[in-house]
Each structure stands twice: as C-alpha cells, then as structure tokens.
C-alpha cells in the first residue's frame, strides 16, 4: 500500500523464465560395430549456450545391468522362433486342407467319369441288344 493512498494499488510484473540450454558437438554418437562384451568409447563436447550455469548428470548403467542385455536378445529370438513355428503350422494346415480338397475333387471327377461311362456303356449295350433282333 502506498502512503496517502486509501486503496491498495495493483502492480503487475512480467518476466521470462530462462532455462538452461546446451549444444552437443555431435548430432549422434556412432560407436561402429562393437562385439558383445567389448567396450567402445566416443568423445563429445557439451557447450552451455545459456547465460545461467547448468548442472548435469550423466548416467551410465552399472556393469550388472549391461550384462542383462543378452537376455533381451534371447526373448527376441524366442519370440521369432514361436512366430516361425506358428507360421509353419499354418502352412502345414493349409497344405493339408488343400490336398484334402484336391482329393475330394479327384474322387468326384473319377466317380462322375466312371458313372457316366457305365451309363453310356449300358445304353450302348441296351441299344445293341434291341437293334440286333
């Protein structure tokens, strides 16, 4: 409250929050081909591009956590193996059904062919019997 002012005077403040910002010397870190169980290193530089000081923490997984990585690959391989097995089962079922339907068609075709042959032979014999008399 201002002296001599009977009512409080409102004050408005404007401001801008500036957070820390930084720039890395590389866009992505390429370690190349690294065999399982071997280490690779890469050097990068971090530049503070803001006017305020910045603290950062670089977290590197512990040795025990990095040893668990192959198990994720194991789960991937198991998943792929199961998918391939299911695919083979579907293929075998499809082939079995296809062969079964093909056999039915062949059976019907042979049955109709033999049946029509018998009928035509019977008619031929029947007509020959009556025409020879």
The model's pLDDT over 39-82, given as tens digits with 9 standing for 90+, comes to 888 888 888 888 888 777 777 666 554 454 455 566 777 788 88
Give the pLDDT confidence score for residue 3 in this predicted structure: 75
Cα–Cα distance, 106 to 71 (Å, whole number): 52
Give the pLDDT confidence score for residue 133 in this predicted structure: 52
pLDDT for 128 beyond 60: no
pLDDT for 83 beyond 80: yes
User: Considering the chain, what percentage of its residues have pLDDT values greater than 70?
Assistant: 75
Largest CA-CA distance found in the chain, in angstroms, rounded = 148
The SS3 call for residue 102 is: helix
Residue 51's closest CA among 28, 79, 18, 29? 18
Q: Is the pTM of this model over 0.95?
A: no
Q: Is 108 left (phi over 0), alpha (psi -120 to 50) or beta?
A: alpha
CA 124 to chain centroid, in Å, comes to 67
Cα–Cα distance, 115 to 13 (Å, whole number): 103
Give the pLDDT confidence score for residue 106 in this predicted structure: 87
């Amino acid at each position: 409250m201002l002296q001599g002012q009977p009512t409080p005077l409102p004050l408005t403040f404007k401001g801008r929050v500036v957070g820390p910002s930084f720039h890395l010397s590389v866009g992505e870190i390429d370690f190349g081909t690294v065999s399982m169980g071997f280490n690779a290193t890469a050097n990068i530089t971090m530049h503070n591009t803001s006017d305020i000081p910045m603290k950062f923490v670089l977290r590197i997984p512990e040795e025990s956590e990095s040893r668990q990585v192959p198990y994720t690959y194991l789960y991937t391989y198991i998943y792929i193996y199961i998918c391939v097995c299911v695919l083979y089962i579907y293929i075998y079922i499809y082939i079995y059904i296809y062969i079964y339907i093909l056999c039915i068609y062949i059976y019907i075709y042979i049955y109709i062919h033999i049946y029509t042959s018998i009928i035509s032979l019977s008619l031929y014999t029947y007509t020959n019997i009556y025409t020879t008399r």
